[in-house]
Amino acid sequence: MATLPHTPDKGDFETAATSRKSTSTRAPSPAPRVRRDKVTSHESFLTYGNGRWWKIAIGVAVVSFASYFLIDVQPRHNGGSWYGYTMGTIGFGLILWLTLLGVRKRAMTPGRWSLKAWTSAHVYLGLSLIVVGTLHTGFQLGWNVHTLAWALMMLVILSGLFGIYVYATLPKSLSANRFDEEGAITEKVMIEQVRQLDRQIHDAAQPLDPEAAAIIERSLEENVFAGSFLQRIRNRYPSDRTRAAVVELRQLRNFRPRLDDDPFERVETLLTKKEALLAKLRRHLQLKSWLQAWLYLHVPATFALIAALSAHVFSVFFYW
Ligand code: HEM
């Protein structure tokens, strides 16, 4: 009979994709279940204030287009005309203000200029920049630092649009994935269930012979959340030891006599349960990672944009 080391309280389930508070396995307190019937009224930042910001953004776009076609610039529209300078200054100011959302996000205040209002204005005024920024160029694009600034602006805007898509679709998948037979479960409950299963597998494996016990030991030692950001976001864990343990145990079992109360069978059932739970939990982490992943493009591209914009403004005033 083999004795397995029992170390489920090592706290090795914490992952980078999840916040410390929500996933720490150190506190074994009974995890709360979310009531299915708890419904809250929720106004999205996309429709905030009766669509105030998309109306304003459309107004900005219409005025920009109208002035572009009504104002006669000779020989043709370009960034260096008085109209071009005006649009460029508005665009530059807008970009600096949009960047301030990063600061605003970290300061909570309710009311008219709540974070929801800011985000709503951010999204729609950010989109209006497509018009303001492009009309500023007068469609004079080429291989230079000015066009680089415009291209980076478009990249930030497109990544923002992707962020909206992610925010609009993933939370639904996230909550659908969190349901089990008894209702919605939290991430913390899932982690606690993995720990409980680990304890049960450990106990059920005690009667196994050393060879089989070693297989279980290897699977219990695995940090089931270890893996790169890429693995998490693709939900692919090729060296999953729980899966390997199920396969290896089945193979071993073929060479063992069948018993009435077979410990192999009990362990295998528990391992299969753990596998299903891990699939759910890893899907949860995958969705959560996608909710953050687009910001890894949006924010660095914003900094690159500010750098290119500074070079653009500097070169316009000092070299032209
Ligand atoms: C040049 C234009 C833009 C700039 C410079 C910009 C910049 C930023 C910055 C600095 C943040 C804060 C990120 C953080 O600290 O976590 C942010 C967040 C965000 N941006 Fe933009 N952005 C722009 C355009 C857009 C557009 C057009 C959209 C949508 C269509 C958009 C959607 C968002 C969203 C949804 C957030 C996250 C809000 C949150 O996490 O609560 N952005 N943006």
Counting other chains too, the contacts that 32-38 makes at CB distance below 8 Å and 24 or more residues apart are: 32/186, 32/188, 32/189, 33/182, 33/183, 33/184, 33/185, 33/186, 33/189, 34/178, 34/183, 34/184, 34/185, 34/186, 35/183, 35/184, 36/183, 36/184
| Cα separation, 178 vs 62, whole angstroms | 44
pLDDT of residue 14 exceeding 80, the answer is no
Confidence (pLDDT) at 185: 81
pLDDT of residue 37 exceeding 50, the answer is no
- 99 or 320, higher pLDDT: 99
- C-alpha angle with apex 143: 141 to 149, nearest 5 degrees? 70
pLDDT of residue 11 exceeding 60, the answer is no
In the chain, what is the greatest distance between 2 CA atoms, to the nearest angstrom? Answer: 94
Q: Which atom of ligand 1 is nearest to the CA of 306?
A: 5
Domain ranges of the chain: 8-32+180-293, 48-176+302-319
Q: Which atom of ligand 1 is nearest to the CA of 99?
A: 10
Mean pLDDT highest for which of 108-122, 175-189, 257-271, 273-287?
A: 273-287
- 224 or 126, higher pLDDT: 126
| Cα separation, 201 vs 189, whole angstroms | 18
Residue type, 69: F
pTM of the complete model: 0.77
Torsion of CA 72, 73, 78, 81, to 10 degrees: -120
| Cα separation, 231 vs 242, whole angstroms | 16
Across 164-180, average pLDDT: 86
Note the pLDDT tens digit of each residue in 224-272: 777 788 889 999 988 889 999 999 999 988 877 777 778 889 999 999 9
Residue 99 Cβ < 6 Å to ligand 1: yes
Q: How far is the CA of 80 from the centre of ligand 1 (A)?
A: 28
Q: How far is the CA of 281 from the centre of ligand 1 (A)?
A: 28
Residue 102 Cβ < 6 Å to ligand 1: yes
Q: How far is the CA of 103 from the centre of ligand 1 (A)?
A: 11
Ligand 1 mutation pick, 98, 115, 299, 306, max ligand atoms within 8 A of CB? 98
Please check whether residue 71 is in contact with residue 83, taking contact to mean a CB–CB distance below 8 angstroms.
yes
Across 33-57, average pLDDT: 74
Hey, whose CA ends up nearest to atom 19 of ligand 1? 160
Residue 160 Cβ < 6 Å to ligand 1: yes
Confidence (pLDDT) at 228: 85
Residue 295 Cβ < 6 Å to ligand 1: yes
